Amino acid sequence: MPVKGLGAYDTNNIFARILRGEIPSRRVYEDDFAIAFHDIAPQAPLHVLVIPRGPYISLADFTAKASEAEIAGFFRAVGSVAKQLDLETPGYRILANMGEDAGQEVPHFHVHLFGGKRLGAMLVAQG
């Protein structure tokens, strides 16, 4: 069920549990502001999720409530992950689903990072 992207943060959502180490993940990066790990159902040869450490549901929630340091730190982390994975030269795509219309399923803000092949045209909508 897609989440609405607003409302109260669910402290037991799957990414909160990954952050606490209660559920295993294949981490590729971590710093004070963010962690990154492989998506469990990759949609490209390389599909990594970057999430802030703070409890934010969506981009709307993150940009409304996070500190300047958290916002800057998070987006720097996205760049660092891509660099660490050697994606800068071949290129990559980032994507964030926000709320119901975008089909956001996990109610903890995250950026998808795709790479490892020609990604084709940007997808706006299906059906």
Q: Which spans of this chain sit near ligand 5GP (rule: CB under 6 A)?
A: 14, 23, 25, 37-41, 49, 97, 103-106
CB of 1 to ligand 5GP, least distance (A): 11
CB of 98 to ligand 5GP, least distance (A): 9
List % helix, strand, coil for the chain (3-state, nearest 5).
25, 20, 55
Cβ-based nearer residue to ligand 5GP, 63 or 67 = 63
Tell me, yes or no, if 110 is annotated catalytic.
Answer: yes
Residue 107 and residue 9 in contact, taking contact as beta carbons nearer than 8 Å: yes
If the CB atoms of residues 45 and 89 are measured against ligand 5GP, the closer one turns out to be 45
Within 8 A by CB and 6+ apart from 118, the residues are none
Catalytic residue IDs: 110
